[in-house]
Amino acid sequence: MDNRASAEGPTVARRPVAASLTGVSKRFGDGHTEVTALDKVSLDVHCGEMLLIAGPSGCGKTTLLSVLTGVLDVTEGAIEVMGWRLDTMDQAAKTEFRRNHIGFVFQQHNLVPTLTAAENVAVPLLLAGQRFSRAIQRAHRVLEMVNLGDRARFLPGELSGGQQQRVAIARALASEPRLIVCDEPTAALDGHNGHQAMELLRSFLSTDRAIVVVTHDNRIFPFGDRLAKMRDARIESIDEMRAANGSTE
């Protein structure tokens, strides 16, 4: 079932498309062991929006995120992100594309325990070929933006869970990506810290940037512009959550 056309209300229909999945399927295994993780999924993600993806465990949420970012190859279908066709790229090209255009935020933060907060934020910049001094300068600026400038030289173990997640968000934003993807970003946080993390992410939305959040956490639903509900490897429905003025409906 293609919910794309019917699910887009007037608010999102006017926005440029940041990412698009068309008839995307992903299967694992062969023959009697074959498992369908995604089944002919079509979905547009619009610039300026935060799209939430929710559903029961095993419904295909994380797989959808993985094919959207080129981490997994699709079995069939087309994926376009910021005008680039990911499904036609080889692995080296997709790796470079992710490095330059996509930021990742994970549930468990994935910070390197032996690196300071600033060094962790600088990692994607260093991988992109920036000089260490320039990458660290940028890391300090981004940490200031997430109110952690005074924690730049702290190790992850010296930070609270909420502070670690803010470092992870700063790392995702360091290279100024146009697409930010988040896999259960509030699952390990209490309500207060989860609320702060989502407010922080929303503050970085812009007319040429989009955010996709996979979540089980219904506490953060009000932060999304749209909510895509998945079941059995398909998108079951897409609901618009926020009015044009940004308030929840």
Q: Does any domain span residue 249? A: no
Q: How far apart are CA 75 and CA 38, in angstroms?
A: 9
pLDDT at 9 over 70: no
Q: Does any domain span residue 174? A: yes
Q: Does any domain span residue 247? A: no
Q: How far apart are CA 20 and CA 113, in angstroms?
A: 36
pLDDT-above-90 percentage for the chain: 68
pLDDT-above-70 percentage for the chain: 91
The contacts found for 236-241 with CB under 8 angstroms, 24 or more apart, are 236/55, 237/3, 237/7, 238/3, 238/7, 238/8, 238/43, 239/7, 240/7, 240/9, 240/11, 240/12, 241/52
Confidence tier at 32 by pLDDT (50, 70, 90)? confident
Report yes or no on whether pTM surpasses 0.95.
Answer: no
Q: Does any domain span residue 30? A: yes
Q: Does any domain span residue 246? A: no
Q: How far apart are CA 135 and CA 113, in angstroms?
A: 19
pLDDT at 5 over 60: no
Structural domain tally of the chain?
A: 1
Q: Does any domain span residue 148? A: yes
CATH number for the domain spanning 168: value is 3.40.50.300
Q: Which domain holds residue 195?
A: 4-240
Higher-confidence residue of 99 and 43: namely 43
pLDDT at 234 over 80: yes
Sign of the dihedral through C-alpha 195, 162, 56, 71: positive
Q: Which stretches does DSSP call E strand in the chain?
A: 17-28, 35-46, 50-54, 76-81, 84-85, 102-106, 179-183, 210-214, 226-231, 234-240
Q: Does any domain span residue 248? A: no
Confidence tier at 190 by pLDDT (50, 70, 90)? confident
Position 11 scores a pLDDT of: 54
Residue-wise pLDDT for 48-92, tens only, equals: 999 999 999 889 999 999 999 999 999 999 999 999 999 999 999
Residue-wise pLDDT for 38-51, tens only, equals: 999 999 999 999 99
Average the pLDDT over each of 1-10, 212-221, 239-248 and give the range with the smallest value.
Answer: 1-10
Q: Does any domain span residue 144? A: yes
Residue with tokens 């090209």: 93
